Structure 1
Amino acid sequence: MQSIRSQIFKIYFRARNSRLPLDRPIPDQRQTMDRRGQQLLPMADGMLASPVDAFGVPSEWIDLHNTQSDRAFLYLHGGGYSLGSCQSHRGFVSHIAKACRCRTLLPEYRLAPEYVFPAGLLDARAAYRFLLAQGYSHDRIVVGGESSGGGLTLALLQTLRDEGLPMPAGAVLLSPWTDLLGTGHSVHSLARRDPWLRPAGIPILANRYRGSTPTDHPLVSPLYADLKGLPPLLIHAGNDEILRDDSTRLEARARAAGVEVTAKIWMGMWHAFHAFYPWAPEAEQAHSEIGEWVAKTIETESQSNLERANDSISRRSNRLRSAQLGSAPQSRAPATEGSSRLDYQPDQRRLSRLAAGR
């Protein structure tokens, strides 16, 4: 049951007509989102933000003061692919980072309409490779984001899988926007209950982002993607948001593809309600559950990789022992079998082109 405090918040949002003014100039929309984000949620106690260049992508490290962590979180902010920044999300992400006890990278990926698909995805990919180059093991990294940041997270996972790059331990998807066609039943059935989003905004934001790419392209609308081989997913959505069915359908498709999914629909809650921590009790509970899931998922994945590595070492030792005894050697295992970490040098030419294109 929804808390009394959250019910009051929702009534207030409706009375104030809190939806973003998508009919205004885009710079005005961005300023509004930045201002709201800064006013809503300041930095968490003990957390610091410091600028960093993540392979050409302006970013911020969000982490605990004087604390080192071997766990990293790549957080991709929401904003319909055309809004949002470190200013709008710094405070919110600091609370997520604190709950997860992860050093968190918040990149300012390129936004539409100035930079259409796949510019933002290339920046997300560069930010992930930056984490690997910083020495973070892939099984100690989680990725995630809210709204369009959740959709971008799913596009990034597909890209990493298809390119054979090491996958993160898991992904956190908060009210993810996965269907830019807007075909979910909830888009219209919940229009009057959603205090933040309106159905008319979906095609506006989708067309800004996709450029000439079809809207149902799997990297634009991940709901239509092949989800096999993705890491464990945590999905949260509000029961009163028009994008609710983007989450419920994603959950069904991911499970059908053999992906491990933990999903929760929060009764009475709105789109990306997690940003209202600690004002909404549900947001506070959600942050706690996210932190617990991240800790469990990272430890499980790290242990699984360690067991695979030990098993690989054991098999190689057996082959060597057989060879020493004069036995015929067994077929050679793939070089990547049992690897818990990938060591490589970044593609400097591609990164230079990416930086020059910003």
Structure 2
Amino acid sequence: MASKQSQRLITSYKGLLAELDASPDMPLNEVRALFEHMGDVTAEPGSIDYAEVEAGGVPAMWVVPKGSAQDRVLLCAHGGGYCFGSMYTHRKLYGHCAKMIGCRALIVHYGRTPEHPHPGPVNDMAKAYRWLLDQGIRPNHIALIGDSAGGGLAVTTLLRLREQGLPMPAATMPLSPWLDMEGGGGSFESNQQKDVLVAHEMLLEMAKTFLGENGNRRDPLANPLHGDLRGLPPAYIQVGGDETLLDDSRGLAEALQRADVEVKLDVFPDMQHVFQFLAGVAPEADEAIAKLAAWVRPRLAL
């Protein structure tokens, strides 16, 4: 049974949707301002310094826990349907992850749609990764992580890096990843009454904005379920059991297994989309982040 504390995320998501329903013609800048409160449910991790930087021409934020390894980096892709969210909304979430792992994190503020449609976000992530290499960070000392749309980027970025002939990072950790631009997963039906945030119609509209009206819904750089995943680094996928996007995670795990890539999938019962936002608040989120850290630390030689 879900903890009492986990209900805070449901309350937050319902409140966000209620404000959007009350103002269906809300301008994009105001919608984005609403989404800037996504991280309000996350506890302040503490003992962390933050600094904004240009990472290969892309805005980003360094998250530096006190006493952390300076030569190990968590490269982070925030969620928000490629349209919302920012390095600010996810500052505390990835602060908890970096602090638990014991390394620095770099949250990439990639260009969002509709101003920067596909392949803008994945290109920005690749630029940030190349910038880390140029700073002297070894590829096997970098791990990717992302949530929702950022979880998709935690995989598609690997495919872009391979195209560019860059070395692979040590690992990737997609959280509640959004991958299937066609929304074909059966969990959209089985979990539609449980997931309070992600609805099928909403997701298809976001895909249209991201890819364009006639964009390729099976482009591997947007939907890696249709890509060649051979040779990718180990992956650890986390997803909530009540998510409509549950089958995206299952499908990714199966595709990685077929490609002979090491993969771990954890489904957390009764949890909502990106429940890790409740870091420092709900035990399920803290448990999930502790598992991420235990899994990735040896891969980063920490």
CA–CA separation in structure 2 for the residues paired with 1:115 and 1:70: 31
Q: Is the 8 A contact 2:241 2:267 kept in 1?
A: yes
TM-score of the superposed pair, with normalisation by structure 1: 0.79
For residue 266 of structure 1, what is the aligned residue in structure 2?
268
Quick one: which amino acid aligns to residue 145 of structure 2? Answer: G
For residue 73 of structure 2, what is the aligned residue in structure 1?
72
Same amino acid, percent of matched pairs: 35
Please list every run of 5 or more consecutive structure 1 residues that lacks an aligned counterpart in the other structure. Answer: 301-358
> Counterpart of 1:230 in 2: which secondary structure?
coil
- Judged with a 3 Å threshold, the aligned counterparts in structure 2 of structure 1 residues 138 and 10 are, in CA distance, closer, same or farther, namely closer
Q: CA deviation at 1:100?
A: 1.4
CA–CA separation in structure 1 for the residues paired with 2:79 and 2:16: 20
CA–CA separation in structure 1 for the residues paired with 2:154 and 2:19: 23
Q: Is the 8 A contact 2:64 2:103 kept in 1?
A: yes
Q: CA deviation at 1:42?
A: 5.0
Deviations 1:321-340 (A, max 9, x none): xxxxxxxxxxxxxxxxxxxx
- Matching residue within 221, 225, 228 for 1:226: 228
Q: CA deviation at 1:151?
A: 0.6
CA–CA separation in structure 1 for the residues paired with 2:219 and 2:75: 24
- Higher helix residue share: 1
Q: CA deviation at 1:21?
A: 2.9
Q: Is the 8 A contact 2:74 2:106 kept in 1?
A: yes
Compare CA radii of gyration and give the structure with the larger one: 1
For residue 159 of structure 2, what is the aligned residue in structure 1?
158
Q: Is the 8 A contact 1:10 1:195 kept in 2?
A: no
For residue 241 of structure 2, what is the aligned residue in structure 1?
239
Quick one: which amino acid aligns to residue 95 of structure 2? Answer: S
Quick one: which amino acid aligns to residue 134 of structure 2? Answer: A
> Counterpart of 2:297 in 1: which secondary structure?
helix
CA–CA separation in structure 2 for the residues paired with 1:218 and 1:210: 12
CA–CA separation in structure 2 for the residues paired with 1:109 and 1:13: 25
CA–CA separation in structure 1 for the residues paired with 2:4 and 2:143: 33
TM-score of the superposed pair, with normalisation by structure 2: 0.93
CA–CA separation in structure 2 for the residues paired with 1:10 and 1:236: 17
CA–CA separation in structure 2 for the residues paired with 1:218 and 1:20: 34
For residue 334 of structure 1, what is the aligned residue in structure 2?
none
**What is the 5 A alignment of 1:122-271?**
122-211=123-212, 212-271=214-273
**What is the 5 A alignment of 1:2-41?**
2-6=2-6, 8-9=7-8, 12=11, 16=15, 18=17, 21=20, 23=24, 24-37=26-39, 39-41=40-42
Q: Is the 8 A contact 1:61 1:104 kept in 2?
A: yes
> Counterpart of 2:152 in 1: which secondary structure?
helix
- Higher strand residue share: 2
Quick one: which amino acid aligns to residue 167 of structure 2? Answer: P
RMSD: 1.9
Quick one: which amino acid aligns to residue 226 of structure 1? Answer: D
Quick one: which amino acid aligns to residue 126 of structure 2? Answer: R
For residue 292 of structure 2, what is the aligned residue in structure 1?
290
CA–CA separation in structure 2 for the residues paired with 1:236 and 1:66: 27
Q: Give the number of the structure with larger relative contact order, counting CA–CA contacts within 8 Å between residues 6 or more apart.
A: 2
Q: CA deviation at 1:15?
A: 6.3
> Counterpart of 1:191 in 2: which secondary structure?
coil
- Judged with a 3 Å threshold, the aligned counterparts in structure 2 of structure 1 residues 135 and 207 are, in CA distance, closer, same or farther, namely same
- Judged with a 3 Å threshold, the aligned counterparts in structure 2 of structure 1 residues 206 and 299 are, in CA distance, closer, same or farther, namely same
